[in-house]
Amino acid sequence: MTAHEPVDVLIIGGGQAALATAYFLRRTALSYLLLDEQPHPGGAWQHGWDSLRLFSPATWSSIAGWLMPSPGPGYPPRDAVVDYLSQYEARYQLPVIRPVHVDSVTRQGELFVVQAGSHQWRCRALVSATGTWSKPFIPDYPGSAQFAGQQLHSAHYRNPQAFAGKRVLVVGGGNSGAQILAEVSQVADTLWITPEPPAFLPDDVDGRVLFERATERWKAQQEGRVTDQPVGGLGDIVMVEPVREARERGVLVAERPFQRFTAEGVEWADGRRAAVDAVIWCTGFRPALDHLHDLGVVEADGRLAVDGTRACKQPGLWLVGYGEWTGAASATLIGVTRTARSTVNEIVDALQTT
């Protein structure tokens, strides 16, 4: 077994949340390392589908310290984000070790012990920034095992070509569901299933507006006041060009969930059936926190109790970038900067008093 010298702070993850946290750590006197499970830089973005684009301009899609270079007209595509994160890591010479899959984290006296295969790292403070991509969520439907067709989560969807000429069920009412439906419907017969009627934002609302709204709500919470910001959050559907085009074709018509699977397709409670060849699940993700189970901090809902980003049951542990419960807009490129900065400030204060 290889046991490395202890560091002050260890970050588990290599995506935008990990890099933003490292950016602020490099401005302190603390020693730190990043352990990234991926073989290459870019975080979860390198696994996005081929046509994936942001719904904010490059200047509104940047993490701390360095603006994303503009890739040209329109919103940045997936590969531009991957390139940006790769260059960001090199620009600030961040100490990333990869690929490292963390198996477990335990406590040994004043130190955390991070185990990854035959390698072991120890640290005084730990930041978990593993995101959600590796924990795709698929709801449990009766009869799913007997369904003879293909089932694919959006985490593993790449392009519509594999579905050409097929009958495809797209399940999920968020941005991924709408965007994947828009392009698959160009080559396949599609049916869209959402738990509630989908919430479409006005055509002139993009990620800039959503982040401004999230920021205003965050400020209001900090000041204990009520805000009159309009309804519409980061989960509502942004009318990017492919989605607007799908609307013009009459594709954006959603049905409520079916009751169960059959061998050939799905069946609703009223007995109505639909034959389908494939199901694309755009049903979201759960926090990737398996590595923290041995600390006894993961709750029944798969999350941790936190005060801001600091774990309540393990004060030397912080979580960055998992969603609203770890900071307003913290799962977005532009939004994670705020929680990364505050987290590092807390870590510095905590380690100075121990």
pLDDT digits (tens, 9 = 90+) for 317-338: 999 999 989 998 888 898 899 9
- Whether the CA torsion 13, 18, 19, 24 is positive or negative: it is negative
Predicted pLDDT of residue 334: 86
Predicted pLDDT of residue 230: 47
Predicted pLDDT of residue 340: 97
Quickly count: other Cβ atoms within 10 Å of residue 209's Cβ.
Answer: 18
Predicted pLDDT of residue 206: 59
Residue 257 has pLDDT above 50, yes or no: yes
Both 32 and 156 in one domain: the answer is no
Q: Is residue 63 part of a domain?
A: yes
What is the band of 71 on the pLDDT scale with cuts at 50, 70, 90?
A: confident
Both 78 and 23 in one domain: the answer is yes
Q: Is residue 60 part of a domain?
A: yes
Q: What angle do CA 149, 153, 154 make, to 5 degrees?
A: 125
Both 149 and 48 in one domain: the answer is no
Both 51 and 122 in one domain: the answer is yes
The rounded mean pLDDT for the chain is 91
Both 170 and 264 in one domain: the answer is yes
| Helices 336-352 and 16-25, packing angle to 10 deg | 40
Both 127 and 17 in one domain: the answer is yes
CA–CA separation, 215 vs 338, rounded Å?
10
Look up the pTM and report it. Answer: 0.89
| Helices 16-25 and 78-91, packing angle to 10 deg | 20
Query: How, if at all, do strands 150-153 and 32-35 pair?
Result: unpaired
Length of the chain: 354
Give the range among 18-22, 50-54, 102-106, 222-226 with minimum mean pLDDT.
Answer: 222-226
Residue 57 has pLDDT above 50, yes or no: yes
CA 9 to chain centre: 23
Predicted pLDDT of residue 234: 47
Tell me the three state secondary structure of residue 211: helix
Both 299 and 341 in one domain: the answer is yes
Q: Is residue 295 part of a domain?
A: yes
CA–CA separation, 329 vs 322, rounded Å?
9
In this prediction, residues 73-95 reach a mean pLDDT of: 95
Both 188 and 257 in one domain: the answer is yes
Contact between 320 and 21 under an 8 Å Cβ cutoff? The reply is yes
Q: Is residue 222 part of a domain?
A: no
Predicted pLDDT of residue 195: 93
Both 183 and 109 in one domain: the answer is no
Contact between 55 and 175 under an 8 Å Cβ cutoff? The reply is yes
Residue 136 has pLDDT above 70, yes or no: yes
Tell me the three state secondary structure of residue 28: coil
Dump pLDDT digits (tens) for 165-222. Answer: 999 999 999 999 999 999 999 999 999 999 999 988 887 765 555 555 555 554 545 5
Q: Check which CATH number belongs to the domain holding 332 and give it.
A: 3.50.50.60
Both 277 and 335 in one domain: the answer is no
Q: Which residue in the block uniquely carries the two structure tokens 């738990």?
A: 195
Both 84 and 7 in one domain: the answer is yes
Q: Is residue 248 part of a domain?
A: yes
In this prediction, residues 227-232 reach a mean pLDDT of: 48
Q: Is residue 336 part of a domain?
A: yes
Q: Is residue 148 part of a domain?
A: yes
How many structural domains comprise the chain?
Answer: 2
Phi, psi of 146 (to 5 degrees): -90, -10
Domain boundary among 281, 309, 340: 281
Contact between 175 and 237 under an 8 Å Cβ cutoff? The reply is yes
End-to-end CA distance of the chain: 29
Q: Which domain does 314 fall in, by range?
A: 2-134+285-352
| Helices 241-248 and 175-184, packing angle to 10 deg | 60
More confident residue, 218 or 35: 35
Both 261 and 248 in one domain: the answer is yes
Domain boundary among 255, 281, 307: 281
Predicted pLDDT of residue 221: 53
